[in-house]
Amino acid sequence: MALDGKILERLKTFHLSERIKQLAEKILYDGEIQAMQEYANTVSIVRLKFNDHGPVHTRTVAHNALIMMDLIRRAGVKTSLEAEEAGSFEDSLAAVICGSLLHDLGMAIGRQDHELHSTYLAQPILDRILRDVYGTEHQKIIIIRSLALEAIAGHMGNRSIYSLEAGIVQVADGCDMKKGRARIPLAIGGSPRVGDIHQYSANSIEELTIGPGKEKPISIRVDMSSEVGLFQVEEVLLNKIAAGTAKSYIELYAVLNGGSPKRYL
């Protein structure tokens, strides 16, 4: 998958230890995780007529999160682990990777409370993979696992989170809103139904760009072809940013048909 290469290439730019690459590769190429993500996507798209929640989505979220982690690092912002002197930036990055790639496993069970279902489905996988990478460094394993599970449980923006790492995953998830994510559900959806606004609004999103902000470390720009795309910006992404811990580091802009950017944050 092309996104695997993008994630691993992005990791190289951090110039950290080989263990972070090893961790990412283990999650990206794990057969059990792949099978769970594929079935979660079948439930989401075929059964529930929702957007993509499978391997492409989770990898997109991970890549978004890595971009934002790099931007806050370059701006001199400390992660929660660094500020609390409980771990390193690399430990924070490990938790963000784990949380991003495992956050939607619960869609295999259903939409309601899927973020909580994802936590107990992810925990044994995290235990197995983190032991493989970190061996007997029990404190590090516990910290990374706890942060990853917080990110997974909090990614919907409907419950409190307290770490910046979880907030980054929450926003990275909300940033996967381009039209490709809605392509398959729209093709097989049949008659319009309640909830289709997510698909039609996502289908109007032409581009989403994450880069350095003018006043804050992170700028998110959403280019759209129709006003229906404002639903994704105002009801999905903005709510996730507002509910999380990364809000003070983010500028958010929406651009309709190449017009003047509208700033939300």
Q: Where are the beta strands (DSSP E) in the chain?
A: 205-211, 218-224, 250-256, 262-263
80-97 average pLDDT score = 98
174-200 average pLDDT score = 60
pLDDT at 252 over 50: yes
Backbone angles phi, psi at 255, to 5 degrees: -130, 120
pLDDT at 59 over 60: yes
Residue 222's DSSP bridge partners are 208, 254
Condensed to tens digits (0 to 9), the pLDDT of residues 195-222 reads: 455 566 778 899 999 999 999 999 999 9
Q: What is the pLDDT of residue 250?
A: 98
Q: What is the pLDDT of residue 68?
A: 98
18-46 average pLDDT score = 97
CATH architecture of 2-263: Orthogonal Bundle (1.10)
Query: Domain limits of the chain?
Result: 2-263
pLDDT at 5 over 50: yes
Going from the C-alpha of 109 to that of each of 34, 116, 120, 249, 258, the distances in angstroms are: 16, 11, 12, 34, 40
Condensed to tens digits (0 to 9), the pLDDT of residues 111-144 reads: 999 999 999 999 999 999 999 999 999 999 999 9
Which of 151, 150, 131 has its CA nearest to residue 141?
131
pLDDT range class, residue 190, cuts 50, 70, 90 = low
pLDDT at 52 over 70: yes
88-97 average pLDDT score = 98
Q: Is the pLDDT higher at 189 or at 98?
A: 98
Mean pLDDT, rounded, of the chain: 92
Distance separating alpha carbons of residues 209 and 169, to the nearest angstrom: 16
pLDDT range class, residue 186, cuts 50, 70, 90 = very low
pLDDT range class, residue 1, cuts 50, 70, 90 = confident
pLDDT at 180 over 90: no
For residue 52 the two structure tokens come to 């993509």
Amino acid, res. 61: V
Q: How far does CA 32 lie from the centroid of its chain?
A: 20
Cβ(241)–Cβ(247) under 8 Å? yes
Condensed to tens digits (0 to 9), the pLDDT of residues 30-41 reads: 999 999 999 999
The angle that helices 114-134 and 18-28 make with each other, rounded to 10 degrees, is 130
